Chain A
Amino acid sequence: MLSALVFVLLGLTSAMAEPQRVTVVLSETGGSYQAFGDLLRDKLQASGSELSIGHVGDLLRQGDLYIAVGMKAAVELADREAPVLNVFIPKSGHDRLLLESRRRGTSYSAIYLDQPPERQVALLRAVLPHVRKVGVLYSDPPPELPSVRKLLADSGLELNERKLDQRPLNDALESVLEESDVLMVLPDASVYNPGTIRNILLTAYRKQIPLVGISQAYVRAGALCAVYSKPEQIAEQAAAMIRRYAESGRLSAAQYPAEFEVSVNMQVARSLDLRIKDAAMLRAEVRGKP
């Protein structure tokens, strides 16, 4: 406790004295990780922070603040006695790191990758105002399930959940689709992955049931719509948190992405004979929700 306090004070003084050294640690090379690193560098250019980008396993440059990009980096940095901002990790991942590392306070925070359940449910209702029964599939009940269930119930919607046991995916899939008007993706890589998505999307399509995804990749693959945040939007939010940290020496509380995009697959909508609003209107509508 004392050491944490000392550390915060040290951080504060060093931030004031010289340029803040920000060390970004990427879980993977390339892809969205690298894109995030590059975007963050751009956004911090004018702030006087010194940014270095490394990868998990690299010998890292000493930093005043570490940005862990992805779960692998977050796990590696969780034990460091240094301020860490986790990005590109789901809320559930951050919560578990909090639990395991017993890190608290203003030197350990996150911008989650997932969207708040309120936003996901808001999108669902904006896109498909007439649906009544929402199906979900999971291998283990996801942490956000209770809040999704409550939000749906508050809107008068029914949640139809199926757990994948030993049964083949198809049995659970057929059974949940039979009793649902829409299938809502909850993050679960053992249900939804590049190997299973073809089966899931084609089976749902055959039954004329749309899928609400969690990233743009889902929409491109054939989901009806998704709400997600682009690396740029998360980088923007991270840059703001880093600037505030430079000024105050405190990290804001862990938070969901503030800015987001809505993507829709109009071809799929038309083919399912669904007349839906366009992405810009849906985004405005979701944003308007409390």
Chain B
Amino acid sequence: MAEQDLSEQAYLQDLPVVLSASRLLQPLSDAPNAMTVIDRQMIEASGFRSIADLFRLVPGMYVGNAGANTPIVSLNGVTDQYSRRMQVLIDGRSIYLPPFGGVAWQELPLLIEDIERIEVVRGPAAASHGSNSFYGVINIITRDASGGSGGTVSASRGEMGIVDASARFGGGGDDFDYRLSFGYRADDGDNPQVLNDGSANRLMNLRSNYRVDGDNTLEFMLGLGEGTSGQGTAGRLQEPFRDTSTQNDFQQLIWLHTWPGRDESKLTLSRTARQYTDPYKCIDNQECISTGAPQAFVADDASSRRQELEFQNTTQLGENNRAVWGGGIRSDYVNQPLLFPGPITLHQSRIFAHDEWRASESLLLNIGAMYEDDGAGHKSTSPRAALNYHLYPQHTLRASISSATRNPMMVEMYMSTAPQTYWSNGYIPPAENLRPEKILAKEIGYVGQFGALSVDGRAYYDKVRDIIMIDGFVNYIDGSYTLSNRADSFKNLFDATYKGVDLSAKYRWTDGSVTASYSHQQASCAFSSYPTQYFNPDIGQLVVQPGYQSEYLDLCSQSVPADSGSLLFEQQMYETYRFSLGYYARSKIRVTDVSSGFPPESPMRRVDLRLVRQLGKAERTGGGEIAVVLQNAFQDNYTGYGNVTQRIGLTFKRRAYITATFNL
């Protein structure tokens, strides 16, 4: 036996702070907002291949797709393809990219297997999660680098041309850990005869940490992704089948310093970039349709980049009071010649502080605010207050009031295109400065524990002011107004009200669990200011006919599913088998960029099944598993996003795939 083993070292050694305040998951009963946690076990049980699909497990969340390679994820209504009203973070890095402000879910250089858990905050949380935490926050936490040495390889094959492969490795020394993943995901899309919606993506993802000393840790993360994504609709000459290419990369450095006691400081530096090339973009609608002349098509290149520096402190103000405060600066850059006259850079800055005070054993108060300057002339403050009252240790009531702003995106402020070129209608920058959208959310909630059963529910009432929408027919080309010869702009046009009820429950037993959620929601909209056309007698006359503007009021209320829910059941069977079943349902919904001339997405009732045969010890060296997943097992013919005739009635077909995983 080594001499060291009998020494005092084990007792006196200095250890790094691992479960720091910022790493710990806040228990639902203490959280200032409604929150859903999707953990590793749920991710595996769901059998989903794509990260976007996981949000089907969140009450009230809509997951749709504008083609298999363009998922739409949204909370609350007025959703369009880009669903820009959420904050999306991966390990604290905002991945929301300009100029459209959405997330290219399919292209993220992150394997679903490398996700540790996802926390979804349902409601505005700008005070704690930064800009754009408007309808909610998706906070993806990846597996730590210290997951041990060894490797895992996995391969999938399935219908719809599914071919996935991944290899993940980990290792390290006394002060250094890393995990490194390589992945490939490809499929032919859902409806390859009609839509060119297949995709193939390669990625690499590295996460490492270096323990400088007991009080300082450096974490470095890096990701690279490269892929092709199909575009085009059969029968539409202006949208021929072609493959667009994308490149995504990010780098992130985190310095975590822990002070004596439980205080900590965290400095995060990150950079996220995306390159997109559509080699054959139609820029002359008429020409493309009538002659299909090659000169009517050009390459559409877009590059966007976000760089960010954030400083965050957690300060313990006494035994029962903790403050988190800090600030950040960010620069967003875009260059897309077909949409903007030149490159655009915006410098945004913000400060934030929030405080968690345990006023008594049963009362917890959360108060905070963020102040930001978006660098485009908008300054705003977003406060939040929440009260959690523990009726009994196992039963908590929550009341909260919370606000956030959504700053106008670059496309809304600066996009400038001629009619019948990039889009069928032209765009000009707004004549009147856009104001940020504002949300004020009020909710009451309950979180309870009955033995192995945990439940939570809430009722909410959200008021949104100044929703930015397309302001049609603000300009005309060549002196005449026609539907096909117009320029639109963006304007703060609507106020919306969302109200609803969410419920979720989880029950665990020794070798299985069931998670269920249900959400009922309602949306209504009203004009907050008049569309520009209302003041123009010439345009007004014309517009009466297509009813273009007021149509949005109608669409707005359809932009949330009245009822939606999910159920995920998992059970271990006969030692070596694991079975899971996912049920996902929602009533009809219409994404707002699908006009009333097209049917809404039909109700969905989909069942996914997964059966796993474990080989050896599942998570250990030499072990592995074979998993078979059957998505939409009973072939529910629900339709998807369709904003053109050819896309109407396309359904998500049943598909099976098999995945083999081995631990080296």
Contact = CB atoms under 8 A, between A and B. Distances in A.
Interface of A: 27, 31-32, 70-72, 88-90, 92-93, 96, 113-114, 139-140, 167-171, 173-175, 187-190, 192-195, 197-199, 201-203, 205-206, 214-215, 217-218, 220-222, 228, 265, 267-268, 270-271, 273, 275
Interface in B1-24: 1-21, 24
Given A189-B9, A214-B11, A220-B17, A195 B174 contact: yes
B223 to A, nearest CB: 21
Most A Cβ at <10 Å: residue of B5, B11, B174, B393: B11
A152 B404 CA distance: 53
Q: How large is the interface on B (under 10, 10 to 19, 20 to 34, 35 or more residues)?
A: 35 or more
A268 B23 CA distance: 10
B620 A70 contact: no
B146 A140 contact: no
Nearest to B623: A171
A279 to B, nearest CB: 10
B4 to A, nearest CB: 6
B7 A198 contact: no
Interface stretch (B72-80, B147-155, B642-650): B147-155
B262 A267 contact: yes
Contacts of A188: 5, 10
Given A90-B6, A197-B18, A199-B146, 20 more contacts: A27-B8, A71-B8, A92-B6, A93-B8, A140-B1, A167-B620, A168-B621, A169-B148, A190-B2, A195-B174, A198-B16, A198-B177, A199-B148, A202-B18, A205-B19, A215-B12, A221-B18, A222-B19, A271-B26, A271-B27
Contact of B11 (A113, A205, A265, A275): A113
Nearest 4 CB-CB pairs, A to B?
A222-B19, A170-B148, A187-B10, A195-B174
A222 B173 CA distance: 21
Given A89-B7, A271-B26, A201 B173 contact: no
Contact of A194 (B15, B19, B149): B15
A206 B116 contact: yes
Contact of A221 (B15, B29, B449): B15
Interface in B611-663: 617, 619-621
B12 A222 contact: no
A40 to B, nearest CB: 16
Nearest to B39: A206
Contacts of B9: 189
24 contacts: A31-B12, A88-B8, A90-B10, A92-B6, A93-B8, A113-B8, A140-B5, A168-B150, A194-B175, A194-B211, A195-B174, A197-B15, A198-B177, A198-B209, A201-B19, A205-B19, A206-B40, A214-B11, A215-B12, A218-B15, A221-B18, A222-B17, A270-B27, A271-B26
Contact of A88 (B2, B12, B393): B12
B632 to A, nearest CB: 31
Contact of A270 (B17, B30, B174, B262): B30
Contacts of A72: 7
Nearest to A215: B11
Contacts, number: 150
B146 A267 contact: no
Contacts of A198: 16, 18, 144, 146, 177, 209, 211
Contacts of B13: 189, 193-194, 215, 217
A88 B9 CA distance: 9
Interface of B: 1-21, 24-27, 29-30, 40, 116, 144, 146-150, 172-175, 177, 209, 211, 214, 258, 262, 393, 449, 617, 619-621
A77 to B, nearest CB: 15
Given A201-B19, A222-B19, A270-B30, A70 B11 contact: no
B389 to A, nearest CB: 16
Contact of B621 (A171, A197, A199, A271): A171
A167 B8 contact: no
Nearest to B449: A273
B506 to A, nearest CB: 12
Contact of A89 (B8, B172, B173, B262): B8
Given A168-B150, A268-B19, A271-B25, A199 B14 contact: no
B258 to A, nearest CB: 8
A110 to B, nearest CB: 11
A189 B5 contact: yes
Contacts of B6: 71, 89-90, 92-93, 96
A90 B11 contact: yes
Contact of B147 (A96, A199, A273): A199
B24 A271 contact: yes
Contact of B16 (A88, A194, A206, A268): A194
Contacts of A90: 6-8, 10-11
A175 B617 contact: yes
B617 A167 contact: no
B245 to A, nearest CB: 37
Contacts of B174: 193-195
